Homo-oligomer: A and B are copies of this chain.
């Protein structure tokens, strides 16, 4: 069933049917109704490939998730992001093409994504420090949006949270409670969010005039296992509190602590990051930084759709607010307990 067929059945021309299904106002009302009736009756659905070819756009967005550590994808972060993107796409009558890509793509893979002539734009999640895809995108002219800021190029559009400020606030909270010997389990330092959160940790210590102890900084990989391993190495160094750069890692840290028979927060306090669904249900419930992941996804999609509609406009940036969620994994602090 194609345009021509529908045209024949409704006694009009191909062009008129095309106008009707594209909501062109230049159609007499009774003609429109007649065509619409046929469309409905035969269940006509325009061919996306043909449309894309003729019109030069497809209403399809690409979503690329560069995934080095495959275990990372188990983090609810990505499902949430995808849900946000997907719902915005549904809302705006767009579709999503998904690529889970190994970040050391070959050149060919990159071109396959950027020049397949099928997608109108790309959302790239999980920002690496130097992603060749992002570089290719920046040099090409396919609209794109990053989820997570770009460290250097200020001509790219993105939606992000202020990871540095949020981390700083989280650590400041620990300091305010009286904790002093505060360690951190960071994310991978080749990920922007990982680096930014460490930066925030440093800033918070500096705000109080505290020197930071390199022994109290351990690099994790945003996975549970990574958090567990880091916490085990951290334990002998006797931190009073740990700022863990993701809830998933905090879960691992919690497990290491439990195995070592350390009480949380009495022996070691913990602050996480993300406020993933499981954070509230952990034992003890995690104090953490909430970031609106699903909303970030939706906004990224909308931003991209807008960018596609108005090409050549300047880069857009949205910084979403975070919120420190106080739960039970840090308490009134050592100060209070001394009394």
Contacts and interface: CB of A to CB of B under 8 A. Distances in A.
Interface of A: 43, 45-50, 52-53, 58, 60, 63, 70-71, 73-74, 76, 78-80, 82-83, 86-87, 90, 95-101, 107, 111-112, 115-118, 224, 228, 251-252, 255, 258, 277-278, 281, 283
8 closest Cβ contacts across the A-B interface? A47-B117, A49-B52, A45-B115, A48-B118, A86-B100, A49-B53, A48-B116, A98-B98
Nearest to A116: B48
A111 B43 contact: yes
A198 to B, nearest CB: 25
Contacts of A98: 63, 82, 86, 96-98
A112 B96 CA distance: 13
A98 B218 CA distance: 37
9 contacts: A45-B117, A48-B116, A49-B49, A74-B79, A86-B98, A90-B101, A95-B99, A97-B97, A224-B278
Given A79-B78, A281-B251, A112 B45 contact: yes
This chain: copies in complex: 2
Main secondary structure of the interface of A (DSSP, over half): helix
B73 A116 contact: no
Contact of A224 (B79, B117, B281): B281
Given A96-B98, A97-B97, A258-B283, A43 B115 contact: yes
A76 B100 CA distance: 16
A263 to B, nearest CB: 14
A73 B80 CA distance: 8
